[in-house]
Amino acid sequence: MRLGQTLPQLAELGRATRAAMREYGEGPAAVLRRMRRLRARGFTYTEAVDEGLLDPAMPDGVRGRYLSRHVREIRQNVLNPLSLEDFTEEKLTFARYAESLGIPVPRTYGTAGRAGGWNRVAGRMVTGPDGFARMVAEDLADEFVIKPVLGYLGLGLRVLRRDGAVLVDQDGRRIDAAALHAELDADPAFDLFLIQERLHNHPDVDALHASPMLQTSRVTSLVTAGGQVRMLFVSLKVGTGTGGADNYRVGETGNGVAYVDLDTGLLGPALVPRPGRLGPIPASELDGHPIEGRPMPLLAECLDLVTRHAHAFLPMRTLGWDIALTARGPVVVEVNNFWASPHGPLTDEAWDLFFRG
Amino acid sequence: MARIGRAAGQVRALAEATCTARRTYGASPVPTLRRARRLRTEAGFTYDEALHTGLLDPAMPDARARRFVSKDAVTRLSDRLNPVALITLTEQKAIFYRVIGETGLPMPRLFGLVGRGGGWAGDGRPVPVGPAASAVFLASGPPEEFVVKPSGGYHGLGVRVLRRDGDELVDLAGARTTPAGLAEELCADPLWDVFVVQERLRNHPDLDTIVRSDTLQTLRVTTFVTDDCDVQVVHAGMKLALGGGNVDNFREGTTGNALVEVDVLTGELGTPMAPAPGGLGLAPARGEVAGTEGVRLPGWDEVLALARRAALELLPCRNIGWDISITTRGPVVVEANRSYDPWPSAVFGDVVREVDRAHRSGGRVAGRTA
């Protein structure tokens, strides 16, 4: 058993070392030494490579402010009781709660999937493909979103618009309501889907980077032991990839992320995974369209919204709020217990808050 | 190998149930074995469950035993009617009280949450991780009387009804502790990491005519939501707190409490039932509750209205067992159960089968519903 775990680790170490040696022109001893230090801080070898932490040009002070997933999740489990995970992670309960508190969220139209169809708009249950088709035809807006209530990383998300008698998803696939019902019913991973309003980007967000996908801001909050709400970091997810969601998903989606300087309110560069990984590069090197130095739209409104409502989720003390920046103001799309900060070292202040706040 | 182990365990359980039935009822083993097997294969009863529900009593006719419903059957129905993905909305009380409490349904006031995962004081401050902070909260946060129960608890396990007595806390069973001692216990609990701290509710004084008890007595009101989102109250029963502890739960008769079914149309009590002599199944209760058959519960129409309103708040869950107490401030939702235990009666078995039929046919539950 131990050998079974060790061999893949050695293979991963070998791959990561070779990649770093090739990229940075260093000898194996220097790469391995750095790797060992990162491993002691909980980074997997692949994680260290993907984050670009083996780059010898990265100052140790910056490298030291990156959070490994392992260490981050240990601390998140201390700050957020695990048994209450679904308080935020289960999207229907979250939407229901947020609505009742007056937190702006996308309108909930109902649910679908083999576990239960519900037409909230018309006030009836939805059974069978005919009932679902009737709901789509009579009670849903021309555009809507379907996502698993226990989904994550944008998996299973469908952004749909009506085109005559059929629906068209974010990839241009055409499907009728009955076939969509059959797909949702047969989904092997998720048995209940939330149907909700489709939101659109604020014009100022489109002006930064035009994208058909909703580009949300991530506001990461922490309620201190004294009850103060503080922000660990704020970022904007930039829809440089494909698919319906702006999730970064360890760089797999091709989407980017830009961090906000909380002192100035200005955006840093939109970072996207370097081709072949090994850390990020500014997206502008790929598309020639820099956003660095431009003001983050609706930043003050987002911070105010989170500050006013973070207490409502206690004892969950640290949350990553996905907030859509829309023409009607910030709208909270999701809240995450296990937030991450890809390519984003924490500031000294945020580090201190996260571990001692 | 595992299959052989399971089969051996089943044979042992069957033998034990048969022997116990023989000792208790003087029953012949062959008919008992046959009935136990049939209840297992046809209705999903475990042998132990059939035994403790009193279904292996030879005095109970076969036809009547078959009307009862097993936990397995209720769970299967519940999983079809209540999305499993939403399980924590009802089964984690910290989430249930926060989320459904915002709808304005009458519920116990929530003072805060504590436990090894940290907590929350009702005034908005977090209660940091560790027993010291929890002790400070328990000493000064809740009022003179309050209830502490595990957020993920069930069957009344871990529930404490507490009142302050100087620097100490005393529960309904007379056990004494201090805020610091309680905090230590809660933060070290091996089963649950979050506990709810909430208002202590008091029984409506009119319930004293049924059972005079300091323990909160709850009704279990089962609802079904039709395809048209009409709510039917399909069954009701009341737990009678004769045992005098912190809770009114029945727990197969081990708590000393009793049960009585309630006519959903009128709110009138049926025959109160207590554990039968020998501890297997139920028999008409004796003593102070014996003469309460036909008594009408106070505020029954309000109970029905509350159950109907509450059922719509939990959609798309369609079949919930509500714990509702008739209190000094009217009916209050104490808990919601999406995976409820079957009420040990033939009537309840009929109701469950009828709910299943109504769900499959897209119709309504027939029979005596409100």
**Alpha-carbon distance B98 to nearest alpha carbon in chain A (angstroms):** 8
Range with the poorest average pLDDT among A81-85, A201-205, A281-285: A281-285
CB spacing of B99 vs A92 below 8 angstroms: no
Residue A279 has φ and ψ, to the nearest 5°, of 90, 175
Residue of chain A minimizing CA distance to B231: A124
CA dist B318 to A130, A184, B78, B84, Å?
20, 20, 8, 12
| pLDDT for A225 | 83
Treating both helix axes as pointing N-terminal to C-terminal, what angle do B2-25 and B29-43 enclose, rounded to 10 degrees? Answer: 130
For the record, the structure tokens of B141 come out as 């946060």
Q: How far is CA B344 from the centre of its chain?
A: 12
Does the pLDDT of residue A38 top 80, yes or no?
yes
Q: Say which DSSP state B275 is in.
A: E
Percentage of chain A exceeding pLDDT 90: 66
Sign of CA dihedral A288, A292, A298, A301: positive
Residues in B whose CB is inside 8 Å of some CB of A read 81-86, 88-89, 92, 94-95, 98-99, 102-103, 113, 115, 117-120, 124-129, 133, 151-152, 192-194, 225-229, 315-318, 362
Write the residue in B118, B226, B315 that is nearest to A315 by C-beta: B118
Q: What is the full DSSP assignment across B180-225?
A: HHHHHHHHT-SS-S-EEEEEPP-B-GGGGGT---SS--EEEEEEEE
Q: For the segment A152-182, what is each residue's pLDDT rounded down to a tens digit?
A: 878 889 999 999 889 999 889 999 999 999 9
Q: Which residue has the higher pLDDT, B254 or B28?
A: B28
Confidence of residue B251 (pLDDT cuts 50, 70, 90): low
| pLDDT for A169 | 93
Instruction: Name chain B contacts of A116, Cβ cutoff 8 Å.
Output: 81-83, 316-318
| pLDDT for B140 | 92
Does the pLDDT of residue B243 top 80, yes or no?
no
Q: Mean pLDDT in chain B?
A: 91
Q: How many CB pairs under 8 A join A and B?
A: 128
**Alpha-carbon distance A104 to nearest alpha carbon in chain B (angstroms):** 15
**What is the pTM (predicted TM-score) of this model?**
0.89
Q: Mean pLDDT throughout A246-263?
A: 76
Write the residue in A83, A87, A190 that is nearest to B193 by C-beta: A83
Q: Mean pLDDT throughout B342-360?
A: 96
ipTM rounded to 2 decimals: 0.87
Confidence of residue B126 (pLDDT cuts 50, 70, 90): confident
B-contacting residues in A 76-115 (Cβ below 8 Å):
78-87, 90, 92-93, 96-97, 100-101, 110-111, 113, 115
Residue A217 has φ and ψ, to the nearest 5°, of -95, 150
| pLDDT for B252 | 66
Write the residue in A113, A123, A314 that is nearest to B126 by C-beta: A314
Does the pLDDT of residue B256 top 80, yes or no?
no
Q: Which residue has the higher pLDDT, A245 or A333?
A: A333
Residue A36 has φ and ψ, to the nearest 5°, of -65, -40
Confidence of residue B250 (pLDDT cuts 50, 70, 90): low
Residue B198, C-beta contacts closer than 8 angstroms, at least 6 positions apart? B97, B108, B109, B110, B111, B146, B147, B149
Q: Is B153 helix (H, G, I), strand (E, B) or coil?
A: coil
Instruction: Name chain B contacts of A356, Cβ cutoff 8 Å.
Output: none
Instruction: Name chain A contacts of B82, Cβ cutoff 8 Å.
Output: 116
Does the pLDDT of residue A253 top 90, yes or no?
no
B-contacting residues in A 119-138 (Cβ below 8 Å):
120, 123-125, 127
CB spacing of A83 vs B228 below 8 angstroms: no
Range with the poorest average pLDDT among A21-25, A94-98, A111-115: A21-25
How far is the C-alpha of B341 from the C-alpha of A244, rounded, in Å?
42
CB spacing of A192 vs B83 below 8 angstroms: yes
Confidence of residue A293 (pLDDT cuts 50, 70, 90): very high
How far is the C-alpha of B185 from the C-alpha of B367, rounded, in Å?
48
CB of A5 within 8 Å of a chain B CB? The answer is: no
Percentage of chain A exceeding pLDDT 70: 94
Report the 3 state secondary structure along chain A.
CHHHHHHHHHHHHHHHHHHHHHHHCCCHHHHHHHHHHHHHCCCCHHHHHHCCCCCCCCCHHHHCCCCCHHHHHHHHHHHCCHHHCHHHHCHHHHHHHHHHHCCCCCCEEEEECCCCEEECCCCEEECHHHHHHHHHHHHCCCEEEEEECCCCCCCCCEEEEEECCEEECCCCCEECHHHHHHHHHHCCCCCCEEEEECCCCCHHHHHHCCCCCCCEEEEEEEECCCCCEEEEEEEEEECCCCCCCCCCHHHCCCCEEEEEECCCCEECCCEEECCCCCCEEECHHHHCCCCCCCECCCHHHHHHHHHHHHHHHCCCCEEEEEEEEECCEEEEEEEECCCCCCCCCCCHHHHHHHHHC
B258 beta partners: B240
For residue B300, count other CB atoms closer than 10 A to its CB: 21
| pLDDT for A286 | 62
| pLDDT for B242 | 77
| pLDDT for A279 | 80
Q: Is B117 helix (H, G, I), strand (E, B) or coil?
A: coil
Range with the poorest average pLDDT among B268-272, B273-277, B321-325: B273-277
Instruction: Name chain A contacts of B85, Cβ cutoff 8 Å.
Output: 90, 115, 148-150, 190-192
Q: How far is CA A304 from the centre of its chain?
A: 20
Q: For the segment B11-44, what is each residue's pLDDT rounded down to a tens digit?
A: 999 999 999 999 999 888 899 999 999 999 999 9
How far is the C-alpha of A165 from the C-alpha of A176, rounded, in Å?
7
| pLDDT for A29 | 93
CB spacing of A78 vs B119 below 8 angstroms: no
A217 beta partners: A236, A323
**Alpha-carbon distance A345 to nearest alpha carbon in chain B (angstroms):** 26
For residue A344, count other CB atoms closer than 10 A to its CB: 23
**Alpha-carbon distance A105 to nearest alpha carbon in chain B (angstroms):** 15
For residue A2, count other CB atoms closer than 10 A to its CB: 6
| pLDDT for A252 | 62
Q: For the segment B61-109, what is each residue's pLDDT rounded down to a tens digit?
A: 999 999 999 999 999 999 999 999 999 999 999 999 999 999 999 999 9
